[in-house]
Amino acid sequence: MPAHVPRTPTPTTLDTTRIDDLRISAVRPLITPALLEEWLPVPTAARALVESSRAAISAVLHGKDDRLVVVVGPCSIHDHEQALTYARLLKAEADRHAGELLVVMRTYFENPRPTVGWKGSTNDPRLDGSFAINEGLELARQLMLDVLAVGLPVGTEFLDLLSPQFIADLVSWGAIGARTTESQSHRQLASGLSCPVGFKNGTDGGVKVASDAILAAQAGHAFLGLNKMGTAAIFETRGNPDCHVILRGGKATNYSAADVQAACQLLQANGLREQVMIDVSHANSSKQHARQITVAADVAAQIAAGERRITGIMIESHLQEGRQDIVPGQPLKHGVSVTDACISFSQTVPVLDGLAAAVKARRNQKTAGC
């Protein structure tokens, strides 16, 4: 029998400290997704809601349901109880408009920063620079379970490539942001996610990067990742057929009828479904939160006029209007965003009323044309 030939050199104790981890200040243990799921399992009712809402959103995307998907909620979650208060208010509106609107609560825990700043409650749940990430992951999962218990499906942005393993089983709809739509890693991630995923247009307003992202995410991929047991693994995906474009503006707004037409022409040229979700915030509101109301009214008018290619809308809304900074030693105002400025819930209700009325008008047009 031939002698065994080692695949690697004999282990040594060579000093690598001069060339490795030179800019790492600390390495701390991370909880595993499997352990967090054991601590916070999915109740039967929550699992059923996740499954049914994913299927319903998919039906909208594939033209089998004429309701409008509405992703609405705070720009980012920074207070658990305030988020639950918002969820209970939103649930009443979701029930009232269930025939026209498929409401998903925006539960964002990660915030992309152009430079530096608070990166979200997963990264810094205490808002003090302590970076208690294990605590943040636990709080994020618990809040999603609590919102599901209220009876609302949840949506979130997938920014960090590892965090989905901790919460993705609870997510009914996901987003890939404008700064990451062009990222190969995020396109690969989307190809393996179990929920529908929206890709935002690039920060410059270009829709082609989102169209390319959908094509990539529809395909299968093999890539490196973290499994539920916290071990590095190679993932092979099947591809995600439930991806779509989100128009969020760029150098200019892109929510008008002409913008919808241009985006759908590009999608058609790439062999993709002609459909868009419109984000009425961000560049489409010119970073003026109150303009979301005006933009939503324009979108509603397009829908009422018979536009069927608009399948969804995104709204940044909180308990109270505006935004505030996180200032050490200074208490935060109740129900006010600490990231992007939001419209208040009282301002959100008539926006939802208008969107529901628009869907009814679109539906009546179709009936009259039969």
User: Which of 181, 345, 302 is CA-nearest to residue 248?
Assistant: 181
In a domain, residue 60? The reply is yes
Mean pLDDT within 77-81 = 97
- Helices 291-304 and 345-369, axial angle in degrees (round to 10): 10
Mean pLDDT within 60-64 = 98
Phi, psi of 236 (to 5 degrees): -120, 120
Cα 147 to its chain centre, rounded Å, is 15
The maximal CA–CA distance of the chain, rounded, in angstroms, is: 83
The angle subtended at Cα 111 by Cα 61 and Cα 275, nearest 5°, is 15
Report pLDDT for 10: 64
Mean pLDDT within 287-302 = 97
> How do residues 142-170 score in pLDDT, each as one tens digit?
999 999 999 999 999 999 999 999 999 99
User: Which of 303, 302, 276, 275 is CA-nearest to residue 362?
Assistant: 303
Residue 238's Cβ-count burial label (10 Å; 0-12, 13-18, 19+) is exposed
> How do residues 7-29 score in pLDDT, each as one tens digit?
666 666 677 778 889 999 999 99
Strand bridging mode 243-247 / 232-236: unpaired
CA atoms of 147 and 84, how far apart (whole Å): 7
In a domain, residue 132? The reply is yes
Mean pLDDT within 83-98 = 98
Q: Is the dihedral of CA 114, 203, 196, 90 positive or negative?
A: positive
- Cross-strand partners of 229: none
Report pLDDT for 116: 79
User: Which of 248, 246, 250, 303 is CA-nearest to residue 275?
Assistant: 246
In a domain, residue 72? The reply is yes
Report pLDDT for 6: 60
> How do residues 318-350 score in pLDDT, each as one tens digit?
999 999 999 999 999 999 999 999 999 999 999
Give the pLDDT band of residue 111 (cuts 50, 70, 90): confident
Please report, for the domain that includes residue 68, its CATH number: 3.20.20.70
Give the pLDDT band of residue 370 (cuts 50, 70, 90): very low
Report pLDDT for 2: 61
Report pLDDT for 18: 82
In a domain, residue 98? The reply is yes
> How do residues 208-237 score in pLDDT, each as one tens digit?
999 999 999 999 999 999 999 999 999 999
CA atoms of 236 and 222, how far apart (whole Å): 4
In a domain, residue 18? The reply is no
In angstroms, the Cα distances linking 172 to 218, 242, 299 are: 18, 11, 23
Q: Please give, one letter per residue, the 3-state secondary structure of 117-172.
A: CCCCCCCCCCCCCCCCHHHHHHHHHHHHHHHHHHCCCEEEECCCCCCHHHHHHHEE
In angstroms, the Cα distances linking 235 to 169, 198, 224, 231 are: 16, 21, 6, 12
Phi, psi of 24 (to 5 degrees): -95, 125
CA atoms of 289 and 341, how far apart (whole Å): 6
The continuous run of DSSP H or E covering 74 comes out as: none
Report pLDDT for 115: 74
In a domain, residue 296? The reply is yes
In a domain, residue 13? The reply is no
Please state which of the ranges 40-49, 107-116, 281-290, 292-301 shows the lowest mean pLDDT: 107-116
User: For the chain, how many residues are written?
Assistant: 370
**Which region holds residue 120: left if phi is over 0, alpha if psi is between -120 and 50, else beta?**
left
Mean pLDDT within 62-67 = 98
Count of beta carbons in the 10 Å neighbourhood of residue 261? 13
In a domain, residue 10? The reply is no
Q: Mean pLDDT over all residues of the chain? A: 95
- Cross-strand partners of 342: 322
- Cross-strand partners of 105: 72, 154
Contact indicator for 301, 358 with CB cutoff of 8 Å: yes
Phi, psi of 81 (to 5 degrees): -65, -40
Contact indicator for 195, 172 with CB cutoff of 8 Å: yes
Report pLDDT for 15: 72
- Domain with 231, as residue range(s), is 33-320+334-340+348-369
Domain count along the chain: 1
Is the pLDDT at 367 greater than 70? The verdict is no
